[in-house]
């Protein structure tokens, strides 16, 4: 009987911890996989915390209202997409203003920005607890934070107009796909939700797999010197360049 009573509490706590820890763990994974992936110091944490305080006092910018277009717009602006788009745009502004180094990693910058928000939402969305808010939303945040910069980096590597146009279309569609996935799950349309969730996480998943392959390739081409295994400098520079571009 006690287990039956305690089970909902355990599930509730597990979802809250997932919302709290998913973004920090994504940041740690990024730092482990990608060489030189600093996020710009404490600036993203400070400004992310400031935005959380503003949101706490201002409240949602869009009134959700039902399950129609306004609910989707609320998800896009207040829940899923804009929390990731804002730091991505501000990263470019901060680089232009020389507040952070141009060599800082924009993916790590966005993930650091989202850490205060994920902590705030872990408490704010706890009553009533919902897997759509506490589990799905952090996954969508991380997918956008990794996937959009990955597509931008890929587009910059090619000069063909059709490739750039196709990539730009995918970049523009990704936030809308994320918001639609959230809206579909919230509206009890799981099939549609899984379709758009798959489209949202695909670029981020490819980026992570490519980083794993590049890192394994760099370690596999290590050169033994006096009983100590060190990386070949020429190969290491090549692989690091590939990882940073991804």
pLDDT, tens digit, 9 for 90 and up, residues 46-75: 889 999 999 888 888 888 777 788 899 999
Q: Retrieve residue 163's tokens.
A: 């490739």
pLDDT of residue 53: 92
What mean pLDDT, rounded, does the chain reach? Answer: 80
Distance CA 103, CA 192 (A): 39
Q: Answer yes or no: is pLDDT of 244 > 50.
A: no
pLDDT of residue 35: 64
Share of the chain above pLDDT 90, in %: 34
pLDDT, tens digit, 9 for 90 and up, residues 63-115: 877 778 889 999 999 999 999 999 988 888 887 888 777 777 888 889 999 99
Other CB atoms within a 10 A radius of the CB of residue 185 amount to: 23
Q: For tokens 């763990």, name the residue.
A: 25
Q: Answer yes or no: is pLDDT of 9 > 50.
A: yes
pLDDT, tens digit, 9 for 90 and up, residues 192-232: 999 999 999 999 998 888 888 877 777 666 544 443 333 44
- Three-state SS annotation for the chain: CHHHHHHHHHHHHHHHHHHHHHHHHHHHHHHHHCCCCCCCCCHHHHHHHHHHHHHHHHCCCCCCCCCCHHHHHHHHHHHCCHHHHHHHHHHHHHHHCCCCCCCCCHHHHHHHHHHHHHHHHHHHCCCCCCHHHHHHHHHHHHHHHHHHHHHHHHHHCCCCHHHHHHHHHHHHHHHHHHHHHHHHHHCCCHHHHHHHHHHHHHHHHHHHHHHHHHHHHHHHCEEEECCEEEECHHHHHHHHHHHHHC
pLDDT of residue 152: 81
Spatial CA neighbour of 144 closest among 88, 67, 102, 61: 88
Q: Tell which wins on pLDDT, 246 or 160.
A: 160
Spatial CA neighbour of 150 closest among 240, 237, 242, 218: 242
pLDDT of residue 18: 92
Q: Tell which wins on pLDDT, 2 or 167.
A: 167
Burial class (CB in 10 A: 0-12, 13-18, 19+), 16: middle
């Amino acid at each position: 009987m006690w287990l039956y009573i305690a089970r909902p509490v355990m599930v509730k706590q597990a979802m809250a911890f997932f919302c709290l820890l998913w973004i920090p763990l994504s940041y740690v994974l990024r730092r482990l996989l990608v060489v030189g992936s600093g996020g710009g110091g404490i600036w993203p944490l400070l400004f992310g915390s400031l935005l959380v305080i503003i949101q706490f006092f201002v409240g949602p910018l869009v009134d959700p209202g039902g399950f129609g277009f306004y609910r989707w717009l609320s998800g896009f602006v207040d829940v899923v997409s804009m929390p990731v788009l804002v730091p991505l745009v501000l990263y470019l502004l901060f680089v232009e203003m020389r507040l952070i180094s141009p060599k800082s990693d924009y993916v790590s910058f966005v993930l650091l920005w989202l850490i205060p928000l994920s902590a705030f939402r872990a408490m704010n969305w706890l009553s009533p607890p919902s897997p759509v808010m506490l589990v799905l939303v952090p996954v969508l945040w991380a997918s956008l934070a990794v996937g959009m910069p990955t597509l931008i980096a890929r587009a910059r590597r090619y000069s063909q107009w059709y490739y750039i146009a196709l990539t730009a279309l995918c970049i523009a569609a990704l936030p809308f796909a994320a918001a639609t996935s959230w809206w579909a799950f919230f509206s009890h349309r799981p099939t549609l939700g899984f379709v758009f969730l798959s489209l949202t996480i695909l670029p981020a998943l490819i980026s992570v797999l490519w980083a794993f392959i590049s890192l394994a390739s760099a370690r596999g081409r290590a050169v033994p010197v006096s009983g100590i295994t060190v990386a070949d400098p020429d190969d290491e520079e090549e692989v690091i360049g590939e990882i940073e571009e991804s």
